[in-house]
Structure formats: structure tokens, C-alpha cells
Structure 1
Amino acid sequence: MNPQPNNSTPPATESGMGGSVVLAWLVVGLPLAWGVSQTFIKALALFK
């Protein structure tokens, strides 16, 4: 007999927390994208 694991917590996307995950990624991703773009723009100035 193979015992089945007792996973009482469903994945986040199935429990209605998908919006929270997207919001968390936006909170982290938008400032990160802004910082990367600013670094790239300032690095271009070095090659002019």
C-alpha cells in the first residue's frame, strides 16, 4: 500500500491567491525594471 501525502493546502493559483501573487511580483518587478532601465540609460552615456 502506498500512503498518499496529506497536502491540505492547494496550490496558490487554485485557492484564489493568484491575484496576490501577481501583485507581489508587480511590487518587486516594477522598481526592478525601472532600476535596470536607468542603469542601462546611464551606461549608454559612457559610450557616447
Structure 2
Amino acid sequence: MSSSDSTPNPPDRRPLIAFAWLWVGVPLGYGLYELVRKATQLFTG
């Protein structure tokens, strides 16, 4: 019996991490999209 068999598995936090990345990434991506769009309008007239 190895030591890994006796330790309980930690809870799987991958869904929480994915949700956190989306929570930050979606508004950030939208903000960058709007920034590029407005900067393009500003410099092209």
C-alpha cells in the first residue's frame, strides 16, 4: 500500500477555475475589442 492510497483526494476545482477565468476574461476581451474599435475610429476619422 503506497502513501497515495491513504490520502483523500482534494475536491476538483477545475470548474471553479474555468468559471473564474471566464468571469475575468469575457469582460476583459470585450473591453479590449471596444478599445481597438474606438481607437480605429479615432485614427481613421
TM-score by length of 1: 0.66
**Hey, what does 1:44 align to over in structure 2?**
40
Structure 1 residue 27 and structure 2 residue 23: aligned?
A: yes
Could you tell me which runs of 5 or more consecutive residues in structure 1 were left unpaired when the two chains were aligned.
1-9
**Cα RMSD for the two superposed structures:** 1.7
Could you tell me which runs of 5 or more consecutive residues in structure 2 were left unpaired when the two chains were aligned.
1-8
TM-score by length of 2: 0.69
More helix by share: 2
Question: Which amino acid in the other structure matches residue 37 of structure 1?
Answer: Y
Q: What is the identity percentage for the equivalent residue pairs of Structure 1 and Structure 2? A: 33
Which is higher, the Rg of structure 1 or of structure 2? Answer: 2
